[in-house]
Amino acid sequence: MNIPDSNLPRIVIIGGGFGGLRLARALKGKPFQVILLDKHNYHTFQPLLYQVATAGIEPDSIGYPLRKIFEGQKDFFFRLAEVQHIDAQLKQVDTSIGSLKYDKLILATGSGTNFFGNNELEANAMSMKSIPEALDIRSLLLQNFEQALLTKDLDERQALMNVVIVGAGPTGVELAGALSELRKHILPKDYPDLDVRRMEVHLIESAPQVLAAMSDESSKDALAGLEELDVLVWLDTFVESYDGKKAITKDGKEFLAHTLIWAAGVKGETVEGIQPTAIVRGNRIAVNQFNEVLEMNDVFAIGDVAAMIDEANPRGHAMVAQVAIQQGERLAKNFILESKKKDRVPFVYNDLGSMATIGRNKAVVDLPKKHFKGIFAWMVWLFVHIMQLVGFRNKLLVLMNWTYSYFRYARDTRLIIRPFKKKISDDIPQPS
Amino acid sequence: MNIPDSNLPRIVIIGGGFGGLRLARALKGKPFQVILLDKHNYHTFQPLLYQVATAGIEPDSIGYPLRKIFEGQKDFFFRLAEVQHIDAQLKQVDTSIGSLKYDKLILATGSGTNFFGNNELEANAMSMKSIPEALDIRSLLLQNFEQALLTKDLDERQALMNVVIVGAGPTGVELAGALSELRKHILPKDYPDLDVRRMEVHLIESAPQVLAAMSDESSKDALAGLEELDVLVWLDTFVESYDGKKAITKDGKEFLAHTLIWAAGVKGETVEGIQPTAIVRGNRIAVNQFNEVLEMNDVFAIGDVAAMIDEANPRGHAMVAQVAIQQGERLAKNFILESKKKDRVPFVYNDLGSMATIGRNKAVVDLPKKHFKGIFAWMVWLFVHIMQLVGFRNKLLVLMNWTYSYFRYARDTRLIIRPFKKKISDDIPQPS
């Protein structure tokens, strides 16, 4: 992989998401050689993917070049690579661009969409875990509207306009809200010869409430907000099949829609070579309080892919950005402590709260001891998300886009730049 | 195609580029039913494609949704369609989404890349006539740099970094300038472990000067500007072959480069069904002073695809935006005059001048009676291009990006969102 040898211990990090990024940055100027591997050359700000999918902001605003983030960081190397296998005996990672020895290896590989083994769903549903996937959704939505114009068959036209979202976690709720705002403010102007009011946005959830991970108040407020926006919410409803045109639920309901977005499950993105006994529920990797993978040496996992199981968290921590960020920071500090022959400190999660936006002026925020909603919650949501976006330019761009959209009810990024035809792989080409 | 019948004469326009757009807008509120067909759902501001290719601005800033442009225009219909054939007897257009009758048909189909029948070049060179193509160039450039890091073979590394641009018209000159600024300000920070100074930017031109269509002063100034930026300019040099790694010229020069961008020729994008005798040099369609296609009735051509041949313009007008815009506007006025039973007015080109930018603070401008260069020319270039960008938001975005890049020497859009693997078609999927 053509990385210079060094006397420093080598820390190899797989994945430049929230966890991997924080870990690598926190090691700046410390006595380690740090190598970051990612299959994209940019960090994706996943909380705003739904805005790209609904033509609210451009993809370049939520991607940030990894090389730029680490500009000037000494003893740091980024490589665009897909990891294929880990050999814990040889302490080596095998990748699409060759092998690499490590002293410490950190899996910060995040999570992917979980279709729970349903191949038909996987083939026909859209998922939204990356910028290319979000762009595919944007293209498909717009293509379906263009097609809806062409048919005289009213059922077919209806099915082309309808969108089904499965899963009412933050992603599903935010998508449903953004889609109903598109329906209200944008699509009627773009498609004056379609009766856009007929477009249905269905949000289907197998649990008895939306935002099940948040407080009861937030769930209730979010549900009320969604209904105000005319989102059709189906609770206690389990989607069993989808052939690309019709979704069928366990209790026999049928939904005609040419777009179905699957936001109903995620699973850890593990790597071949991890001790099989360490793989637990949700395809996550069991780790101890120091993020060490059980029964492996010098292999760590942080963020979504790690399951730190204890009494308070029998299924591990929530798969959210804050956990990844805090684990990355804790792990960096522990590496530094170790290098000074000091004792490491076990990870303790500091819950800063959670939030979700439903639409214009509508959001719900749970702080550890407080819940609030409405326009103030929405402004908090905006502020927190903009502050977290990496890079000055991206903050400005997103702020500008939002201000513009807010005052003009406009979304100007509804371009079908790459038509969506079938599931496109975004693998990195192999070096020749 | 599901377009309502109307008592108004139906004008069908193929292509939403500069010419088609102006024509359709100028017919607003006039007694015609106007139908615009395009294979993209957005207008592309082609003069800034080179900025997308070199990671200067995001693609969404130079694309603008066609439906948004025509918001509220009565008796106007847009359809996303690829035109397959014209039947002038039946007065009908056959497209990927069905057939359409017309009373008047306008070809505003623009131009595509001309490889002059060289299949090897066509298979291996990059072209830059659309946003997807510009994004492919951006991805390829960045991928090649990532690969250059991996090899220990110095020749291979050099070839991965080098870029050859063939054709020193405005596109080639602007690309070469932007690439050498990338080399100077951005790439060394992104790739500290590569000796980026070794990267070569070759600009190869078969004519004895760059910007041959502009004044001699502009050609000289542009050449001096390019050489100041360390662009290697090869005049009187004709590229004969390129296998993806090595370009060979007629006089036997060899250039090793994994990226070759072909900006050496364009040809009219005609449509099947045009009278063969009307197809002239450069695959353009011969038209009279009223933009009527020779020997056809009620079929018109404007812009790049049209060749209006007269004594002053034995090869037709230059294939530039201004001609298309003025022909679109003239043709609209002529339709309106005709509808009032008045005499039409033949087209006369009002040459507003031409310009090209070479880099930061460097541009050349030819006004009909005046030539100037340097920072003032550069500001004129900026101003004219920003004013022409469709839509308030896009103007703001581009202005912001440029201001930011100017003061910080930064380009933050260098994301490989869709890796480039092979030439990807951006056809529209057929309706199912």
Of B149, B401, B410, the CB nearest to A2: B149
Q: Is the same domain home to B34 and B19?
A: yes
Buried b (16+ CB within 10 A) or exposed e, B149-168: bbeeeeebbbbbbbbbbbbb
* pLDDT of A63 higher than 50: yes
The pLDDT value recorded for residue B383 is 82
Lowest mean pLDDT among A76-80, A339-343, A363-367: A363-367
**Over residues A386-391, mean pLDDT:** 76
Q: Is residue B355 part of a domain?
A: no
The beta-carbon neighbor of B80 closest among A42, A146, A397 is: A146
A387 Cβ contact partners less than 8 Å away, ≥ 6 residues apart: A395
Closest alpha carbon to A82 in A39, A35, A43, A40: A39
Distance CA B112, CA B129 (A): 7
Q: Are residues B207 and B321 in the same domain?
A: no
CB–CB contact B146 A41 (8 Å): yes
Q: Domain check: are B282 and B204 in the same one?
A: no
Residue type, A228: E
Do B140 and B245 belong together in one domain?
Answer: yes
pLDDT value at B399 more than 50: yes
ipTM of the complex: 0.88
Name the residue in chain A with its Cα closest to that of B131.
A417
Res B41 pLDDT > 70: yes
Residue A128 within a domain: yes
| A chain contacts of residue B72, beta-carbon cutoff 8 Å | 189, 192
Closest residue in chain A to residue B43, using alpha carbons only:
A415
When mean pLDDT is compared across A363-372, B153-162, B331-340, the lowest value belongs to A363-372
Query: Given a cut of 70, is residue B92 above it in pLDDT?
Result: yes
Place of tokens 């991970």: A213
A98 inside 8 A of chain B by CB: yes
- Same domain? For A252 and A143 the reply is yes
Residue A196 shares a structural domain with residue A244: yes
Q: Which residues from chain B sit within 8 angstroms of residue A147, using beta carbons? A: 431
Tell me, yes or no, whether B370 and B227 share the same domain.
yes
- The answer on pLDDT for A412 being more than 50 is yes
pLDDT on residue A123 = 94
B260-298 pLDDT per residue, tens: 999 999 999 999 999 999 999 999 999 999 999 999 999
Overall average pLDDT of the A103-108 stretch:
98
Asked if B271 and B402 sit in the same domain, the reply is: no
- DSSP code string of A249-281: ETT--EEE-SEEEE-S-EEE---TTS-GGGEEG
Residue B431 pLDDT > 50: no
Within 10 A of B276 (CB to CB), how many other CB atoms are there? 8
pLDDT in tens, A307-361: 999 988 999 999 999 999 999 999 999 999 999 999 999 999 998 888 898 988 8
Contacts (Cβ under 8 Å, ≥6 apart) of A204: A164, A165, A166, A167, A168, A234, A237, A239, A247, A249, A255
Q: Write the burial class of residue A159 (CB in 10 Å: 0-12 exposed, 13-18 middle, 19+ buried).
A: buried
Q: Do B431 and A150 touch (CB under 8 A)?
A: yes
| Residue B58, domain member (yes or no) | no
- Which DSSP helix (H) or strand (E) runs through A385? helix A374-388
Q: pLDDT grade, residue A413 (50/70/90)?
A: confident
pLDDT of residue A426: 47
pLDDT at A20 over 90: yes
Of B1, B413, B415, the CB nearest to A150: B1
- Evaluate whether residue B56 is within a structural domain: no
> Residue B65: which H helix or E strand, with range?
strand B63-65
pLDDT at B430 over 60: no
Residue B190 has pLDDT above 70, yes or no: yes
Predicted confidence at residue B424, as pLDDT, reads 43
CATH of the domain at B191: 3.50.50.100
CB contact under 8 A, B396 and A400: yes
Asked if residue A378 is part of any domain, the answer here is yes
Interchain pair B71, A41: CB under 8 A: no
Q: Residues B14, B152: one domain? A: no
Question: Is the pLDDT assigned to residue B360 strictly greater than 90?
Answer: no
Going by pLDDT thresholds of 50, 70 and 90, the confidence category of residue B107 is very high
Neighbouring residues of B89: CB distance < 8 A, sequence distance ≥ 6? none
C-beta separation of A386 from A357 below 8 A: no
Q: Are residues A256 and A384 in the same domain?
A: yes
- The answer to whether residue A344 sits within a structural domain is no
Q: Is the confidence at residue A114, as pLDDT, over 50?
A: yes
Mean pLDDT score across all residues of chain A: 91
In a domain, A19, yes or no: yes
Q: How far is Cα A190 from Cα B78, in angstroms, rounded to an integer?
A: 10
Q: pLDDT tens across B68-77, in order?
A: 999 999 999 9
CA nearest to A260, candidates A235, A237, A241:
A241
Chain A 150-179, residues with CB within 8 Å of chain B CB atoms: 150-152
Query: CB contacts < 8 Å between A and B, how many?
Result: 166
**CA A93 distance to own-chain centroid:** 25
| Residue A424: per-residue pLDDT | 43
User: How far, in Å, CA of A414 to CA of B230, rounded?
Assistant: 39
How many structural domains comprise chain B? 2
Three-state DSSP state, A334: helix
How high is the pLDDT of residue B428?
53
Residue from the list B71, B149, B419 with its beta carbon closest to the beta carbon of A426? B419
The domain of A96 spans 10-39+81-113+267-339
- Residue-level pLDDT at B359: 85
Q: Report whether B372 contacts B214 (CB < 8 A).
A: no
CB A3 within 8 A of CB A42: no
Residue A391 forms part of a structural domain: yes
Residue B406 has pLDDT above 90, yes or no: no
Q: Does A102 touch chain B (CB under 8 A)?
A: no
Output A414 or B24, whichever has higher pLDDT. Answer: B24
CATH label of the domain that carries residue B24: 3.50.50.60
Question: Residue A316 has what pLDDT?
Answer: 94
pLDDT, tens digit (0-9, with 9 covering 90-100), for A237-264: 999 999 999 999 999 999 999 999 999 9
Per-residue confidence (pLDDT) for residue B429, from 0 to 100:
54
* Structural contact between residues A311 and A118, judged by C-beta atoms closer than 8 angstroms: no
Give the pLDDT confidence score for residue A301 in this predicted structure.
Answer: 98
Same-domain check for residues A164 and A199: yes
Question: C-alpha angle A342/A343/A347, rounded to 5°?
Answer: 135
3-class secondary-structure state, position B166? strand
Q: Give the confidence band of B142 by pLDDT, cuts at 50, 70, 90.
A: very high
Q: Are A416 and A55 in contact (CB under 8 A)?
A: no
B181, B260: one domain: yes
The answer, yes or no, to whether residue B245 has pLDDT greater than 90, is yes
Question: How many beta carbons lie within 10 A of that of residue B408, not counting itself?
Answer: 12
Is A272 known to be catalytic? no
